[in-house]
Amino acid sequence: MARLTKNDDKPAITDPAALGVAADQASEFLKSLANPVRLRILCMLADGEATVGEITDRLAARQSLVSQHLALLRKDGLVSATRDGQSIRYALADIRVERLIGVLYETFCPRG
């Protein structure tokens, strides 16, 4: 069976209990991404931070819908919020999201 690791310096997980924990964490992480609105929000935030209004305008979505999904992404630790005067700016809070968005973009949004 092939090793499930990209970096030879980091050994593959072979302990069944540790693999179970890692699989549970990966499953929860992927559940957070498994919604078209949340995925579009994360793709947008991969380009830089934005306010709810900016996200709403760019996605052509209702503000209540965007706010609902941002709250879920914050709860899951994938997005952070920073107050900027009267606005709140959202940004990716987890490097794994940025990496995965990059892979998804290369896979599903090929150039040429």
Residue-wise pLDDT for 22-79, tens only, equals 888 889 888 988 999 999 999 999 999 999 999 999 999 999 999 999 999 999 999 9
* Alpha helix ranges (H) inside the chain: 16-33, 36-46, 52-59, 63-75, 95-108
The CATH number corresponding to 21-106 among 3.40.50.300, 1.10.238.10, 1.10.10.10, 1.20.140.90 equals 1.10.10.10
Quote the pLDDT of residue 112.
58
Residues whose CB falls within 8 Å of the CB of residue 27, separated by 6 or more in sequence, listed in order: none
pTM: 0.79
Most confident of 18-22, 65-69, 104-108: 65-69
Model confidence at 5: pLDDT above 90: no
The ranges assigned to domains in the chain are 21-106
Strand order in 79-84's β-sheet?
50-51, 87-92, 79-84
Over 80: is that where the pLDDT of 111 sits?
Answer: no
Rounded to an integer, what distance in angstroms lies between the CA atom of residue 49 and that of residue 45?
5
Stated length of the chain: 112
